[in-house]
C-alpha cells in the first residue's frame, strides 16, 4: 500500500521558520514527482510546491515563492518543505502527495497532513 506520513507541524510566531517532512512507503519514491498542498481550516485546497524525481526541477505557487524551499532525499524516501518568514496566513494543514507522472495533473495518495499554526 502506498503511504505518505507528514510531520513537523506546530505552533510558532510570525517570522519564524519551520521544516516539514514527509516519509513515503509502498512505492518507488525515487521515481516519483512529489508535491505539497495546503488547506486553511474550513477553506479550499491550495497547491504550494512540487519537485521532480531527482530534485532538479522545483515549482512554487505564488504564496510560497521566495519563502519556501522544497527538497527531497531519495535515500531516505523523504520530502521536505522549508518554510521561512512565516506569516499568519500560512496557518494551514499541509499535505504531502504524489503526482502520477509529469503532466498527469493528478495526485494520489495523500498523507494525513500536518498542521502549521502561525500566531503571535
Q: List residues binding another protein (CB under 8 A).
A: 35, 37, 44-47, 50, 59-62, 95, 100, 103-113
- By beta-carbon proximity to another protein, the closer residue of 17 and 112 is 112
Contacts of residue 116, defined as CB under 8 A and 6 or more positions apart, other chains included, come to: 9, 10, 12, 18, 20, 83, 86, 90, 91, 92, 93, 94
Q: How far is the CB of 13 from another protein (least distance, A)?
A: 27
85 DSSP assignment: S
Q: How far is the CB of 5 from another protein (least distance, A)?
A: 11
- By beta-carbon proximity to another protein, the closer residue of 44 and 119 is 44
- By beta-carbon proximity to another protein, the closer residue of 29 and 95 is 95
In whole angstroms, give the CA distance from residue 71 to residue 50: 9
* Pair 108, 97: CB distance under 8 Å: yes
- By beta-carbon proximity to another protein, the closer residue of 68 and 107 is 107
**Residue 69: Cβ within 10 Å count:** 16
Q: How far is the CB of 70 from another protein (least distance, A)?
A: 13
Q: How far is the CB of 75 from another protein (least distance, A)?
A: 26
Q: 53 phi and psi, to 5 degrees? A: -60, -35
Amino acid at each position: 500500500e502506498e503511504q505518505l506520513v507528514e510531520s513537523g507541524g506546530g505552533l510558532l510566531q510570525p517570522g519564524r521558520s519551520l521544516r516539514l517532512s514527509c516519509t513515503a512507503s509502498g512505492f518507488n519514491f525515487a521515481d516519483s514527482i512529489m508535491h505539497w498542498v495546503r488547506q486553511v481550516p474550513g477553506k479550499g485546497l491550495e497547491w504550494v510546491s512540487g519537485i521532480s524525481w531527482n530534485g532538479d526541477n522545483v515549482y512554487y505557487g505564488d504564496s510560497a515563492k521566495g519563502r519556501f524551499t522544497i527538497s527531497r532525499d531519495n535515500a531516505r524516501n523523504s520530502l521536505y518543505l522549508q518554510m521561512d518568514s512565516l506569516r499568519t496566513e500560512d496557518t494551514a494543514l499541509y499535505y504531502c502527495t504524489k503526482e502520477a507522472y509529469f503532466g498527469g495533473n493528478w495526485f494520489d495518495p495523500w498523507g494525513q497532513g500536518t498542521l502549521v499554526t502561525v500566531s503571535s
